[in-house]
């Protein structure tokens, strides 16, 4: 797998905006770092490997700056890289997997090379630095794509809120029923272009942003930890309001072989994390007639409720 090509594709898919030039500059630093690595290998020039690491440092810092603007919604004009790193280290903005990569690169590569001007790096170290910063950058762009999609969806849904709410009933019933109706309406608002182009992080951000706009008084969390510190279970989306909560699991395709076991596992996760209600939401990426099919399940001795929403009648297909 060409990891640099993967990063390039993620940047392209994230969409254009104020962040685009900065992300392209980050990508350019990674590409130049790779050229330094190849030069060192070709010319037996060990200094090229150190040059490669300094370029990956620039990619690291550039990516952090753009993420700071998108995820923390901060102005970049007077932002210092030290303050940005401190912010990401101490806040909960980064998901754990991104924070782990951030910490690893910062401790293993950026800090040593910044604070020791006599330090040289070998070919293997340069290679590892390139892989590390590129992997971190891929995760970083995914986080940014999620947030950008959420922001766009919130703004779009706010503009359409009156029309949406006139067609669907979001006000009556418990939280599970209201979130179910909101997700059903989500099906009807997707363009063909969006169905074909969105990445999974963008779908996740879009769904969370839509629910946040529809339920402004609720707390809508994406990639929310629901199992406590020890179990570290994560929900794609968690909606909380006035003592009620709904765990939403987002799927983009149906796997016939694992469908039933997936539902049982999700029911177990919901029950063990102290929640009662959940929804499996199959994205409208499958061929659809415009209908939304529902399947209702009870679990945990009837205490838990699970709804499955999809563009095809899964109940008749699998039972």
Q: Is the pTM of this model over 0.85?
A: no
> What domains, with CATH codes, occur in the chain?
3-144 (1.20.120), 168-318 (3.40.1350)
The per-residue pLDDT for 76 is 79
The per-residue pLDDT for 317 is 41
Identify which of 176, 190, 194 has the alpha carbon closest to the alpha carbon of residue 306: 176
Record the tokens describing residue 206, joined without a space.
């879009």
Cβ proximity of 37 and 127 under 8 Å: yes
The per-residue pLDDT for 304 is 94
Q: How far apart are CA 208 and CA 240, in angstroms?
A: 12
Give 227 or 139, the one with higher predicted confidence: 139
Cβ proximity of 60 and 133 under 8 Å: yes
Cβ proximity of 148 and 277 under 8 Å: no
Cβ proximity of 272 and 300 under 8 Å: no
The per-residue pLDDT for 10 is 93
Average pLDDT over the chain, rounded to whole? 84
pLDDT in tens, 79-113: 888 888 888 888 777 777 788 888 888 877 776 76
The per-residue pLDDT for 185 is 83
Record the tokens describing residue 205, joined without a space.
């951000």
The yes-or-no verdict on residue 230 having pLDDT over 70 is: no
The yes-or-no verdict on residue 191 having pLDDT over 70 is: no
The yes-or-no verdict on residue 37 having pLDDT over 80 is: yes
Give 23 or 202, the one with higher predicted confidence: 23
Q: How far apart are CA 304 and CA 297, in angstroms?
A: 8
Provide mean pLDDT across the span 243-265: 89
The yes-or-no verdict on residue 174 having pLDDT over 80 is: yes
Give 302 or 289, the one with higher predicted confidence: 302
Cβ proximity of 140 and 67 under 8 Å: yes
3-state secondary structure of 289: coil
The per-residue pLDDT for 83 is 85
Cβ proximity of 207 and 281 under 8 Å: yes
The yes-or-no verdict on residue 319 having pLDDT over 60 is: no
The yes-or-no verdict on residue 318 having pLDDT over 50 is: no
Cβ proximity of 201 and 223 under 8 Å: no
Give 309 or 201, the one with higher predicted confidence: 309
Q: How far apart are CA 267 and CA 262, in angstroms?
A: 9
The per-residue pLDDT for 187 is 74
Cβ proximity of 180 and 294 under 8 Å: yes
Q: Is 261 exposed, middle or buried (0-12, 13-18, 19+ CB in 10 A)?
A: exposed
DSSP strand E in the chain: where?
219-225, 234-241, 244-251, 277-282, 293-299, 304-310
| Dihedral angle, C-alpha 73, 211, 96, 300, nearest 10 ° | 160
Give 196 or 47, the one with higher predicted confidence: 47
> What is the percentage of the chain residues whose pLDDT exceeds 70?
85
The per-residue pLDDT for 216 is 86
């Amino acid at each position: 797998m060409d990891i640099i090509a993967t990063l390039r594709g993620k940047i392209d898919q994230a969409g254009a905006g104020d962040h685009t030039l900065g992300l392209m500059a980050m990508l350019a630093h990674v590409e130049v770092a790779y050229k330094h690595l190849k030069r060192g290998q070709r010319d037996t020039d060990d200094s090229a490997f150190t040059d490669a690491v300094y370029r990956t440092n620039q990619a690291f810092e550039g990516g952090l700056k753009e993420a700071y603007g998108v995820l923390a919604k901060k102005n970049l004009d007077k932002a210092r890289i030290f303050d940005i790193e401190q912010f990401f280290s101490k806040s909960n903005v980064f998901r754990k997997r991104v924070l782990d990569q951030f910490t690893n690169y910062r401790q293993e590569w950026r800090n040593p090379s910044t604070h020791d001007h006599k330090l040289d790096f070998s070919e293997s170290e340069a290679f590892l630095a390139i892989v590390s910063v590129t992997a971190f950058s891929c995760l970083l762009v995914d986080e940014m794509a999620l947030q950008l999609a959420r922001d766009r969806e919130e703004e779009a849904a706010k503009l359409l809120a009156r029309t949406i709410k006139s067609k669907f009933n979001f006000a009556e019933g418990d939280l599970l029923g209201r979130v179910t109706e909101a997700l059903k309406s989500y099906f009807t608002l997707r363009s063909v272009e969006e169905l074909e182009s969105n990445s999974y992080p963008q779908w996740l951000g879009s769904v969370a942003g839509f629910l946040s706009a529809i339920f402004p008084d609720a707390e809508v969390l994406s990639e929310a930890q629901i199992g406590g510190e020890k179990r570290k279970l994560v929900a794609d989306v968690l909606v909380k309001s006035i003592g009620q909560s709904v765990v939403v699991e987002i799927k983009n395709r149906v796997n016939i072989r694992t469908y039933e076991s997936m539902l049982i596992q999700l029911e177990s996760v919901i029950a063990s994390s102290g929640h009662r209600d959940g929804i499996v939401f199959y994205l409208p990426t499958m061929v659809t007639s415009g209908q939304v099919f529902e399947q209702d399940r009870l679990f945990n001795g009837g205490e838990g409720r699970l709804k499955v929403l999809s563009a095809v009648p899964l109940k008749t297909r699998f039972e």
